[in-house]
A and B are shown apart, each in its own frame.
Chain A
């Protein structure tokens, strides 16, 4: 199947999973996706669990607590349905990320591909520099930095990011124009 076909199949599977409200169908879907994951099943399941645990866990525990407080009953159907659906949809996404080259999947639009390549490559570079800024602040401060110093550092980092974005945009535009990208 082509990368575009995989993208379409993933989107269709995601929308279908979002309509499911029967735990048996959701469990069946989850089993099918785990089989599709093959040897990566455990690793991808772990990633999906970690990515969703904070929100799902907080909401599930709060809803369990509220239901128990109000009616001394546990909403097990809801708990099973929603958590299976969340896990199934997250696993589908991580399987997609693992198996599909998004840059190729979006290759039907030349401009969209360029946009994605430029945005992602610059994002990763900026993220790395931000980590260095954080380490810089730590190394300059013998004691943990105060609120004022951390605010100044955050504001400087934000301004630097936007300033860098302006420079990157200008440089990329010149580089692409010189290579005839806009003709």
Chain B
């Protein structure tokens, strides 16, 4: 479920835009440096894949499904900055072309899911892959979903503290951390298991495809 505009106070989203802008500028430089002149089509294609990944249904027991973020998969396969830039562009396209999610929530989503999620997923993958590659990929997928949920729960729960009227009543998102943390963390801890499984299977499938093309 995307957070629409109007729930995040300007006292939060404006500084977050400043922080995100710095990371976007640095990320653009990193992507350009790493990938030379093919940067632009590369980033466009990764963005398209990331956008389409959000339409892949993650099966849950009981016949229901949730949607993949793909941040762990992108970070493990293509690195932090590619994952961050692609995820940020996806949020921008969703907000600006399809009205899905908000423009004021874009920096929060980009920093939490695109940046923190990618850093945690890539870091965990690199730290654990020598011990057990499969477990490292699974945990990368799990943390790539769970850590952003923690950050978004903290950001949402901070709204009543940041913006309230003289009587202390909230003016934006109304619930504090006592509600947002359990409401987001319990389901995402479980959803992360699905994302972890998908990251493991997805990365292995990519490796198989690359090997097959090499032999062809």
Contact = CB atoms under 8 A, between A and B. Distances in A.
A130 B52 contact: yes
Nearest to A111: B40
Given A62-B175, A154-B59, A90 B5 contact: yes
A123 B165 CA distance: 43
In the complex, which range does the number of interface residues on chain A fall in? 35 or more
Nearest to A94: B99
B44 interface: yes
B177 interface: no
Interface in B17-58: 37-38, 40-49, 51-53, 55-58
A19 interface: yes
A47 B99 contact: yes
A18 interface: yes
Contacts of B209: 159, 163
A11 B5 CA distance: 12
A165 B3 CA distance: 28
A108 B25 CA distance: 17
B4 A127 contact: no
A150 B73 CA distance: 18
A90 B7 CA distance: 12
Contacts of B197: 151, 155
B43 A115 contact: yes
B97 interface: yes
Contacts of A163: 206, 209-210
A165 to B, nearest CB: 4
A63 B59 CA distance: 30
Interface in B49-95: 49, 51-53, 55-59, 61, 63, 65, 68, 70, 73-74, 77, 89, 93, 95
A48 B77 CA distance: 36
Interface of B: 1-10, 13-14, 37-38, 40-49, 51-53, 55-59, 61, 63, 65, 68, 70, 73-74, 77, 89, 93, 95-100, 102-104, 163, 165, 169-175, 179, 197-198, 201-203, 205-206, 208-210
